[in-house]
Amino acid sequence: MSNLSIIRDSYEFGIEIMCTNDHLRRLIQRQAIRTASTIRRDGIFLILFAGLILTACGKQKYKAEEDKAQPIGIPYEVKAPAGLPPVPVTADNRMTAESIALGRRLFYDTNLSSDGTISCASCHNPENYFSDSWPKAIGIDAQTGPRNTPTALNSAYNVTQFLDGRAGSLEEQAGGPIANPLEMNLPHDACVAKLNQDQKYVDEFARVFGPGRITMNKIVKSIAAFERTLISGNSPFDRYQYGGRKDAIGAEAIRGLAIFTDRNRGNCATCHPIGDKFALFSDGKFHNVGAGMNSEGELTDMGRFVQTKVEADRGAFRTPSLRNVAKTAPYMHDGSLKTLKEVVDFYMGGGNSNPQLDKEMRPLGLSARDRSDLVKFLESLTGEVPANSGPPVKE
C-alpha cells in the first residue's frame, strides 16, 4: 500500500492528515501504512493512530483562531432570488463588499495550493455551476479524492458542510481543502506565511480587517463571505411555483412535479422538500440510499458514520439540494451515475439493499413516461448563476 492510498483512505474515513509539521506528518503516514496493512475489519480500516493525530496535530478540521478579527466595512446584504429564503450569515463574520471581493480573489487563487496549480475553483468551477465534471474530485498532482464534488452554489443554506457533515460552517469548510494532501496540500501555517509575503494581499487584508498580520481566521472568513454570495434561484420552477407564472414550465415538468411530491409515486419530496414560500430541495439530514456498494454488496464509504460512530449512519450522506442538478453531473457521493435518467432508474429500484438502508427507500412502479416527466421537472430547477461570481479581473 502506497502513501497515496493510505492518505486517500484516511481522508475517506474522516482522519485528515493536516499536520503543519511535515516531519510529523510523514511519521503518521508511515504508521498509517503499517496499521492499515495489518488490521482490517468488516471492510473498514481501523485507524488506531487517530489519537496521535489529535494530540500532535490538533483538530483535523479547521477551527477559528483566537483572534476575533471582523471585517470593518459597511455590512453587505445578499439578496435571495425567487424561491429561496434569506441568506444566513454568522454573527462572527460580518459581510462587507470588501471582504467578499477579497474572498473572491482567494477562491480563484492557485497560490493557495502547495505548487500553485489548484484553487478552490478548480473543483468548484463556475462554468460547471460551481462543481466539476468528474466522478470524483481531482486535486494536486492529479490525485483523485474519494467522493464527488458537490456544487458550492447555495452552500450557505447547508446546516453542515461536506457530504459527511464534518464541518459546521462555511468558515470551517474553507480551511479543509487548502491543507488536505489530496486537494491543495498547503499546510495552514505555510498558507499564512505565503500570503504575508505578498504585499498586495497584506494591503487588501488590512483594508478588510484593519491593520495586522494575515491569519487563517481572516482567510477562511473572506472565502466564506464570497461563498455566501453564490446563491442560485429564480429557476423556471420558481417562477411557476412562487411567481405565479403557470407557463414557466411545460406540461411534462408539471406532471413530473406531481410525481415528485406524491408519497405513493416518486416520494422525492420527503428528503427534498418544497415549502410554501421557498424550496431548498434538501432536508439537511443524512440518508443511506444504497449507493456506493462493491461487487460483494458491501458499502465502500462509511459516510456520516465516521463522524458520529452511530451504527445507523453507516453509508449515510447529507441530502444534496436538487437545484441546478441538471448541470452538475455525474451524481451520487461516488459519482457513479452519469445522467439524471440513471439516477431516476436507480431510485426506481429502491437502492441497493444493506442493513442501514433508509426506511423511505423502496421500489417504485413508475412508467417510462413518468420517469421522463420526472427528469423534465428536475431540469426545470436550473437557476441563474449570480453575477460577479466568476474569476476577478487581474490587476
In the chain, alpha helices (H) = 3-12, 22-38, 50-57, 97-107, 120-123, 170-179, 188-196, 199-209, 216-227, 236-241, 251-261, 305-308, 340-348, 368-379
Of 12, 16, 183, 227, catalytic: 183
Q: What domains can you pick out in the chain, each with its CATH number?
A: 3-57 (no CATH), 97-227 (1.10.760.10), 236-379 (1.10.760.10)
Q: How far apart are CA 84 and CA 381, in angstroms?
A: 12
What is the pLDDT at residue 393? 85
Binned average pLDDT, 10 residues per bin, the chain of 395 residues = 40 39 44 40 38 35 63 94 96 96 98 97 97 96 96 98 97 97 97 98 97 96 98 98 97 98 97 98 98 94 97 97 98 98 97 96 96 98 96 82
Instruction: Decide if 227 is catalytic.
Output: no
Q: How far apart are CA 47 and CA 8, in angstroms?
A: 13
pTM: 0.85
Q: How far apart are CA 84 and CA 274, in angstroms?
A: 11
Other beta carbons within 10 Å of 68:
8
Determine the length of the chain: 395
What is the pLDDT at residue 2? 41
| Share of the chain residues as helix, strand and coil, in percent rounded to the nearest 5 | 40, 5, 55
What is the pLDDT at residue 68? 83
Per the structure block, which three cell numbers stand in for 197? 509575503
62: left (phi > 0), else alpha (psi -120 to 50), else beta?
A: beta
What is the pLDDT at residue 395? 60
Tell me the DSSP string of 16-53: ----S-HHHHHHHHHHHHHHHHH-EETTEE--TTHHHH
Q: How many helices (H) and strands (E) does the chain have?
A: 14, 4
Query: Which residue, among 378, 343, 351, 350, has the nearest Cα to 364 in the 3D structure?
Result: 350
Query: Which residue, among 104, 74, 371, has the nearest Cα to 226 in the 3D structure?
Result: 104
Per the structure block, which three cell numbers stand in for 216? 487563517
